A = this chain, B = another copy of it.
Amino acid sequence: MDTFAARGYNNASLQEIADRAGLTQAGVLHYFRTKAQLLTSVLDLRDAADIEQLGTERPRGLAFLRHLVDTASRNAEREGIVRLYAVLSAESVTEGHPAQEYFRDRYEGLRAMVVEALREACELGELPDDTAVTDTANAVIAVMDGLQVQWLLAPDRVDMAASTDRAITALLAGLGADVTDG
């Protein structure tokens, strides 16, 4: 994970990964066959941890959107994970990248989750029924992703939690939600 985060996939050396794990290259390839498969295994492992952390019951409606601000706040304390996703998600749009399908599916899943939360908010009367849920969901996901790259380049200049909070609060307020706490 550290090697892919620091170098991206294309520039990561299997020798460096083997050295860090105290294995030979052949030893690593015994478990993961190819560098591409090692990458997707790392990403799957990360996702499993995140899903576990989210718990079986995610908050419903707007509470889920507020929960994302906590995620941004927590991300500011785990630079390695943020770097891994920021580097690999963008690198995945290059030709023939082994994680392209992974990230396409991941965004589709994130979008579905945020869209569902926004629909719940409409049903709960927290948002108007005519909310453009897909465009809003994409904007929410985008602001979190975009802040990560800015923050990695200049951590002193970017407050991920504050900017995420501002964007999500504004998006919800713009939609007519009552966004005061509690």
Give me the interface of A with B, judged by CB distance under 8 Å: 6-8, 10-11, 83, 86-87, 89-95, 100, 103-104, 107-108, 111, 132, 134-136, 138-139, 141-147, 149-150, 152-154, 157-159, 162-164, 166-167, 169-175
Contact = CB atoms under 8 A, between A and B. Distances in A.
B145 A167 contact: no
Q: How many copies does the complex hold?
A: 2
Given A7-B95, A139-B163, 4 more contacts: A135-B162, A138-B150, A145-B145, A145-B150
Nearest to A171: B170
Contacts of A142: 142-147, 150, 163, 167
A62 to B, nearest CB: 14
Contact of A136 (B89, B147, B166): B166
A107 B153 contact: yes
Contacts of A174: 166, 169-171, 173-174
A91 B147 CA distance: 15
Contact of A146 (B92, B141, B175): B141
Contact of A173 (B111, B132, B149, B170): B170
A1 to B, nearest CB: 14
Given A6-B95, A153-B103, A135 B90 contact: no
Contact of A90 (B89, B100, B136, B141): B89
A8 to B, nearest CB: 5
